């Protein structure tokens, strides 16, 4: 899942400065699940904006609306007729959703209310941890299911570096386990250390330009469209 955090209120106020009528749209997808931009968070945010503005005797017209997902155009249909009535749209989706909304309504400014942070997992309610950098060439099969790109501070493919602490934590932060120490432990436990004894060659980075994915069953269909 994509994890995001809300921007500080001050920054959001700066973004919406100069716009009187604002449509604040929540997303029912990832940002709702990670408690950053769902229906509840949209309400909370507009409430905070209103009371902050009220302190200095100002007022804005904010309308809250949440759609199923902001990363699929089919869900936009229900708000197509509303957007033209507003000066700006404040999106509470991840960066992908914000851009998709902006592409749909190019005539109105679209503003992000969140910082999209990472692809990760729930550690507990409201507590998330990064686990994948979407490198496009997954090596988890050879690293005991532990991602060296994300979890090693230097993204080493032939770790560990010389800095691993005596308790097996990373040189960068004594609270974070060294990814390669963990990889070693796990593969040792599985009796599969040979997976990391050979030199892994320099990789062909695949996340350097914008990527698209077309799943196998749809290849013909989109080939024709092109």
Partner 1 sequence: MEILFSITLISIPVGRRNTAAITVHIRSIFITLDAGMTKEVISRRVFFSRTETSGCCKYDTSCFWANHFNQPAGHGEKSLMKSGSNLEAVLKSGHFAITGELGPPRGTDVQVVKKKAAFLKGMVDAVNITDNQTAVVRMSSWATSILVVQEGLEPNFQMVCRDRNRLAMQADILGAYAHGIKNMLCLSGDHQSFGDHPNTKGVFDIDSIQLISMVKTMRDEGRFLGGDEIDGPPKMFIGAAANPFGEPFEWRVHRLAKKVAAGADFIQTQCIYNMDRFRQWIKMAEDMGLTDKVYIMAGVTPFKSLPMAKYMKNKVPGMDVPDHLIKRLKGVEKKKRAAEGIKIACEQIQEFKEMKGVAGVHLMAIEWEHKVPQIVEQAGLLPRPNIKSDAGGDTSEESEEEED
CB of 202 to ligand SF4, least distance (A): 15
Secondary element (H or E) of residue 44 = helix 39-55
CB of 185 to partner 1, least distance (A): 7
What CA–CA distance (Å, rounded) separates 145 from 46?
A: 41
Q: Which stretch binds ligand SF4 (CB under 6 A): 77-85, 98-106, 133-141, 192-200?
A: 133-141
Phi-psi region of 107 (alpha: psi -120 to 50; beta: other; left: phi over 0): alpha
CB of 24 to partner 1, least distance (A): 31
23 binds, among partner 1, ligand SF4, none (CB under 5 to 8 A by kind): none
DSSP 147-195: -HHHHSTT--SS---TT--TTSEETTEEEEE-HHHHHHHHHHHTT-GGG
CB of 121 to partner 1, least distance (A): 24
145 binds partner 1 (CB under 8 A): no
Q: Which stretch binds ligand SF4 (CB under 6 A): 43-51, 73-81, 85-93, 128-136?
A: 128-136
């Amino acid at each position: 899942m994509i994890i995001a955090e809300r921007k500080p209120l001050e920054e959001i106020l700066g973004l919406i400065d100069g716009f009187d009528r604002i449509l604040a749209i929540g997303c029912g997808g990832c940002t709702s699940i990670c408690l950053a931009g769902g229906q509840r968070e949209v309400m909370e945010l507009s409430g905070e904006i209103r009371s902050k503005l009220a302190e200095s005797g100002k007022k804005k017209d904010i309308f809250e609306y949440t759609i199923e997902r902001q990363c699929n155009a089919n869900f936009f249909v229900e708000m197509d007729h509303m957007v033209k009535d507003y000066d700006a749209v404040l999106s509470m989706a991840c960066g992908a959703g914000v851009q998709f909304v902006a592409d749909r309504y190019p005539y109105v400014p679209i503003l992000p209310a969140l910082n999209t942070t990472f692809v990760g997992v729930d550690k507990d309610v409201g507590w998330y941890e990064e686990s994948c950098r979407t490198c496009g060439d997954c090596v988890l099969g050879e690293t005991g299911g532990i991602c060296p790109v994300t979890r090693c501070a230097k993204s080493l493919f032939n770790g560990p570096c010389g800095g691993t602490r005596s308790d097996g934590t990373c040189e960068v932060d004594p609270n974070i386990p060294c990814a390669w120490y963990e990889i070693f432990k796990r593969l040792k436990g599985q009796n599969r250390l040979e997976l990391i004894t050979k030199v892994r060659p320099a990789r062909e980075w695949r996340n350097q330009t914008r990527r698209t994915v077309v799943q196998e069953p749809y290849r013909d269909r989109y080939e024709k469209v092109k």
